[in-house]
Chain A
Amino acid sequence: MSNNEAPFEAEVRYAGRVAADPEAFIALYDLYFRRVYNYVRYRCQDPALTDDITAQAFEQALDHIGDYRPERAPFGAWLFTIARNLVNQHLRTSQRRVWLPLDEVGEYPGEYPTPEEILINAETQAELLAALQQVSGRDRDLLSLKFAAGLTNRRIATITGLTESNVGIILYRALRKLRIALLVKELTND
């Protein structure tokens, strides 16, 4: 399953009974862990902090699972709203941004390397994380919701309060900023 693949069928199947079935909740955990983790990692950079916030997001989701209404929003949108609030809360309380030097990126290898991890260039991931720090917090939030969480522009608009067309424009410009940041870094390295 690709990172951006939205598991709609599985989500619908499990979300309908998640409030009364722990099996469904764990199935949704398996479906969404990777996307939630990547979303938080894109925004927070620090692996340990990402683990903490990801765990908090799922634990809060379980604590408030009785409040979730499948007919109102997909489970993913509800879950990423929780994760986003946690990240925003952390960024507000810390009153600082975590700027991670490039040298430190990639020093947290996974305990169990997967084939995907072997295939994907670690250097590219490190460059991406570093380049994401060059864009504004709002741009990074939207890029993370779009490409790490895999949400649609409409769903992002619902979560962020922006209009759908505005989300598209901001995303496009953020991508171009990110691309330029990567080019600048490459030129600096050369």
Chain B
Amino acid sequence: MIEQTERIDEFLEELERSLPDGGRTSNGFSPAERQALDLAARLALADFSPDSQVRESLRLRLARQAAARLPETIAAPFEHPARQEPSRRLPLLQSVRPLGWIGLVAVLMLVLGLAFHSLGPQPGLATPALTRTLFTPPASPALVSTLAETLSPARTATPAEAATLASLPIQIRPAAYPVGAQPNLPQPVAAISLPSLQTPSAVPIPAAR
């Protein structure tokens, strides 16, 4: 066969030598070109695909594989209804499926929340003394009203309190100002003395009237 191919090549070269100008005709094609065009048409029109034994089976197989690989879309038009998943055959199931997912997620979140709640840190038991402190009402209603008045932001200091405050070092002098407003300090607070805060005598507690 290779020898035959070589003979064809030799013949082709001889043909080209014998027709140097191509012998072009009035329509612009030489006889050799015309033959080539005719042959090209035969090649282009020839169809062997009816010989295929796998065309339809391959199509079905590819449709199934494509649907499996790309589950977000529906391959229903390419498969027989009997081979489709139930949710693809029944629109009701198809519409219920998203609700099922939502319900599943909600149940999962509920279970996880309960689990965290049960496994999380438990509140410690109060000691009897603390319980008494928390739930014992004040002994004197007058003391309650005095405390409320003392802690009120609208209250002005008594002369005694003002004198006490003036004697305090500037580092621990308390400043009262409304929430959101800038503190009206005489000078910026550079530091707070921790020992003075820890010393009970440094910050006198206003006496009840």
Binding site for B on A (CB under 8 A): 2-4, 20-23, 25-26, 29-30, 33-34, 37-38, 41-42, 47-48, 50-51, 54-55, 58-59, 62, 65, 99, 108-114, 116-117, 120, 124-125, 128-129, 133-136, 143, 146-148, 150, 172-173, 175-182, 184
List 5 A–B pairs whose Cβ atoms lie within 8 Å, in order of A's numbering. A23-B75, A26-B63, A50-B48, A51-B52, A135-B8
**B: interface residue count bin:** 35 or more
Q: Which one of B37-45, B103-111, B137-145, B180-188 is at the A interface?
A: B37-45
Binding site for A on B (CB under 8 A): 1, 4-5, 8-9, 11-12, 15, 32, 35-36, 39-40, 42-55, 58-59, 62-63, 65-67, 69-70, 72-75, 77-78
Chain B residue at smallest Cβ distance from A19: B70
Q: A116-B47, A173-B12 are in contact. Are A26 and B35 (CB under 8 A)?
A: no
Q: A23-B77, A54-B54, A181-B8 are in contact. Are A38 and B42 (CB under 8 A)?
A: no
- Describe B's contact surface by its main secondary structure: helix
B62 A26 Cβ-Cβ under 8 A:
yes
CB distance from B2 to the nearest CB of A (A): 9
A33 B62 Cβ-Cβ under 8 A:
no
Contact of B12 among A33, A111, A177 (CB under 8 A): A177
- Describe A's contact surface by its main secondary structure: helix
